Amino acid sequence: MKTIINTEQAPAPIGPYNQAILAGNMLFVSGQIALDAVSGSLVLDNIEVETHQVMKNIQAILTKAGLGFSDVVKTSIFLSDMGTFAKVNEIYGSYFTSDYPARETVQVSVLPKNVNIEISVIAYKG
CA distance 113 to 106: 18
**In whole angstroms, how far apart are CA 78 and each of 30, 69, 81, 112?**
13, 18, 9, 11
Are 56 and 41 spatial neighbours (Cβ–Cβ below 8 Å)?
no
Task: Check pLDDT > 90 for residue 118.
Answer: yes
pLDDT per residue as tens digits for the range 94-113: 999 888 999 999 999 999 99
User: How many angstroms separate the Cα of 42 from the Cα of each of 4, 37, 111?
Assistant: 25, 9, 13
Q: Which domains does the chain have, with CATH numbers?
A: 2-124 (3.30.1330.40)
pLDDT in tens, 30-50: 999 999 999 999 999 999 999
Q: Parallel, antiparallel, or unpaired: how do β-strands 102-107 and 72-79 relate?
A: parallel
pTM of the model: 0.97
- Phi and psi at residue 35, to the nearest 5°: -95, 130
Predicted pLDDT at 110: 96
Give the pLDDT of residue 14: 87
Q: Could you report the per-residue pLDDT of 46-78, keeping only the tens digit for each?
A: 999 999 999 999 999 999 999 999 999 999 999
